[in-house]
Structure 1
Amino acid sequence: MRMPPIPPAELSEEQRPLDDHVRKIMSGLRTPFTSMDDSGALIGPFPVMLRFPDLARPLLDWFTSVTSGSVLPARVREVAILTIGSRYGAAYELYSHGRIALEIGLSSGVVAGLVAGQRPAELTPEETVAHDVAARLYAGAPLPGALYLAAIDAFGELGMAELVFLIAQYSSISMVLNAFDVPLPPDAE
């Protein structure tokens, strides 16, 4: 762990508004995972973000703009997030979003397959498109025309854009998690 959690009592005046903002975001989300330690300090990517509030605020604003008013089904979102997390090997992302995926109805087999970097056969056609878009963009290549059109057909133009921005966002979060060697909480499998 390169940047340990910051207990609430030790937050600076510059860090406290960002900590409050993160807690507000988290309170509005399904969080079937551990996001605080025993002292009440935020864990996951948040200790890093709190140490660099000027860099983190735009990332969090981007997060809320992509997640508010989402047109993508929750399962599609989680398939894309887990696909990206598996490609980067971002352990905390896979832990937290694996739990979210299970809570919203993806089977344990599908979640395990996605976490292992596979394309589970049990994905719906829309989930398959989300997986394929995420995998292709991670590979660093343009989307083939047929895949682009399949995504537009599945999600509409706005949904396709949301999918791409979601993939970019979780690629960024994966990089933060990996660069700062963010550990898993004790309850992670």
Structure 2
Amino acid sequence: MITVRIKPISPDQLSAEQQQLDEQIRRMLGGLRTPFTTIDENGALVGPFPVMLHFPELARPLLDWSTAVTTVSVLPVRVREVAILTTGARYGAGYELYSHSRIARAAGLSGTVVAALVAGQRPAELTPEEAVAHDVAARLYTGGPMPGALYRAAVRSFGESGTAELVFLIAQYAGISLVLNAYDVPAPPDAE
């Protein structure tokens, strides 16, 4: 039985501060063309968003970080999704794996590759750049400094700016995974 620690808040129950944040989240999601469920049958945001709405003062910086990392993106979407799924698999964050599996498939990663990433594996079918993104994410979540050879491979693949984006993206999704896990946020009913 799934126990939801923080329930979604229907739009008519939001405080003024929550309503402002809800509108910001919906604007952000509206520009993303999300192939996954973000709103329940009552019109309330789901996923990490109910937690954010309950703690708007803590959520705003996280959303600003997310916007900064996506607005200046130089990484191809498939590379980003490999890094996000590798990170999500490490933490077993159900909603993150659900949502980003769908984004990854929409971006052209095969179901086999996505399934392997979700299972915490390194698929052989990754492009060289995708493999570097996977390896950076996998190395960073084990702790300790990134080896020089891997750092140089990232800079060769993505440049200094792209490498920075990759590192900040991995850090951001590690944080989101921790929030999802702390509040035991489930994937919605339409998850495979």
TM-score (norm 1): 0.99
2-structure distance, mates of 1:103, 1:128:
19
Does residue 93 of the first structure (1) align with residue 96 of the second (2)? Answer: yes
What are the ranges of 5 or more consecutive residues in structure 1 without an aligned counterpart?
A: none
Is 2:171 aligned against 1:168? yes
How far is the alpha carbon of 1:30 from its aligned partner?
2.7
Matched, 1:147 2:150: yes
1:184 Cα deviation after fit: 1.3
**CA–CA distance in structure 1, aligned partners of residues 27 and 126 of structure 2:** 32
TM superposition shift of 1:119: 0.1
> 2:124 aligns to what?
121
2:97 equivalent to 1:110 = no
Cα shift readout 1:158-184 (whole Å, capped 9, x = no counterpart): 000000000000000000000000011
1:8 is aligned to 2:5: no
Within the alignment, does 1:178 sit opposite 2:185 as a pair?
Answer: no
What is the aligned counterpart of 1:24 among 17, 24, 27?
27
TM-score of the two chains, using structure 2 as the length reference: 0.98
1:42 aligned onto 2:63:
no
RMSD in angstroms over aligned alpha carbons? 0.5
- 1:23 corresponds to which letter in structure 2? R
- C-alpha distance in 2 between matches for 1:8 and 1:106: 35
Q: How far apart are the structure 2 equivalents of 1:181 and 1:61?
A: 23
Measure, in 1, the Cα distance between the counterparts of 2:114 and 2:187: 18
**SS of corresponding position for 1:14:** helix
Query: Given the alignment of the two structures, is residue 63 of structure 1 paired with residue 66 of structure 2, yes or no?
Result: yes
Count matched residues.
Answer: 189
Structure 2 counterpart of 1:166, which letter?
L
Amino acid at match of 2:8: P
State the distance in 2 between where 1:132 and 1:94 align.
18
